[in-house]
Structure 1
């Protein structure tokens, strides 16, 4: 799988340091880990990552102190320091508005609270990397279907497929979960996020839109399948 950037995950919870890096590597990232603030600073100095995923509550210092010191690490090529050189996403159980604002005011690029949805976390990491000039998101391909997250383009068998922003997000979510059944609730959380307050039947409507556009002409095999009572799954076409 094409790599999408290097990450440093800093957390003192063993299960987080075991499961989260595994999932991020599966998504295409190169991942280093640290369990303390000092370990994070050493790792960031020796091998500066494209982005730091940083817990606030660490055993030796809090994440707010870590981000202050991260900003003091000079760029080895230019000697300069700066927020955009090493983006930080806070990942923490501290979920008060005051904590969030404090982290963002210190230069955090985003603030995600635990428990979190993995696909949403990955999408936020990719969004930060795009904003800060990090590595481009990889082309996603399933059979003859290709999706370019950065260029917002989709082709099937080389033919451009014009999608609305919502259709594009839905297709992207299905493609990065190829072979895995996703429920309507998961789709709503990851495509419509938290601002949706309506009929879950909208998922069926947009899946129908996607099918028509992806199968235009009638000759292309179906990619998006209904699993009754469970949700939808995008499968690679059989030869």
Structure 2
């Protein structure tokens, strides 16, 4: 899996490249915002790690361009600015995750893995499970040939469960994987989403045969 790291901090990019290369990733570095689109076209990365404060063009402008041209390319944003509005803006513009500086490299590694699982980055483009077909890059779902309309979070949860049949995910684990480390709500958000998801994917939501509840623990797919 190739990562394009967009940051003008040479010390940081050297450290991150060394860490991610040791984990088996192929890492390319871009030091400015102007040449990102060109580098994405040339490098064809599976994911972009994008700093907000860049010479030439800021990360928000770059993100907007990436979303217009590469709507399914996963992007994790980095920033040294602490304002919550920056995080909200980045996520609303389509960033898949957001991490403030300074950060622990292990946390960034964990977020890269989590976003990869959610989006299918670096993996198969499609997932077939029974009557369901998932386009992991286009984030679309079909049931017996009929497309289902899932929200972004519904897709994240559903694809995670289908990729790991039989594995029970606690509410806390689902929050971490699909809402992010910084989510401040309570675990009832998971129950509400699962209820909505069952309405869309189950033949009989009151008698679910696909998404099961492990009482007192969490949820899993057969």
Which band: TM-score by shorter chain?
0.5 to 0.7
Q: TM-score, normalised by structure 1?
A: 0.51
Q: How many angstroms apart in 1 are the aligned matches of 2:55 and 2:46?
A: 24
Alignment of 1:127 onto 2:114 = yes
User: Which is higher, the Rg of structure 1 or of structure 2?
Assistant: 1
Deviation beyond 2 Å, 4+ runs, structure 1 = 150-153, 162-165
Alignment size in residue pairs:
137
Alignment of 1:1-239 (within 5 A): 5-73=1-69, 81-82=70-71, 85-136=72-123, 151=164
Which blocks of at least 5 consecutive residues in structure 1 are unaligned? 74-80, 137-149, 154-161, 169-192, 196-239
What SS class does the counterpart of residue 108 from structure 1 fall into? coil
Please tell me whether the aligned partners of residues 116 and 122 of structure 2 are also in contact (alpha carbons under 8 angstroms). Answer: yes
Q: How many angstroms apart in 1 are the aligned matches of 2:122 and 2:95?
A: 19
Please tell me whether the aligned partners of residues 48 and 86 of structure 1 are also in contact (alpha carbons under 8 angstroms). Answer: no
What SS class does the counterpart of residue 121 from structure 1 fall into? helix
Q: How many angstroms apart in 2 are the aligned matches of 1:108 and 1:129?
A: 13
Please tell me whether the aligned partners of residues 74 and 121 of structure 2 are also in contact (alpha carbons under 8 angstroms). Answer: no
Residues 154-207 of structure 1: per-residue CA shift (max 9 Å, x gap):
xxxxxxxx9997xx9xxxxxxxxxxxxxxxxxxxxxxxx789xxxxxxxxxxxx
What SS class does the counterpart of residue 54 from structure 2 fall into? coil
Residues 131-173 of structure 1: per-residue CA shift (max 9 Å, x gap):
111235xxxxxxxxxxxxx7499xxxxxxxx9997xx9xxxxx
Which blocks of at least 5 consecutive residues in structure 2 are unaligned? 124-162, 174-180, 184-222
Q: How many angstroms apart in 2 are the aligned matches of 1:128 and 1:32?
A: 18
Q: How many angstroms apart in 1 are the aligned matches of 2:168 and 2:95?
A: 33
Q: How far apart are residue 24 of structure 1 and its match?
A: 0.9
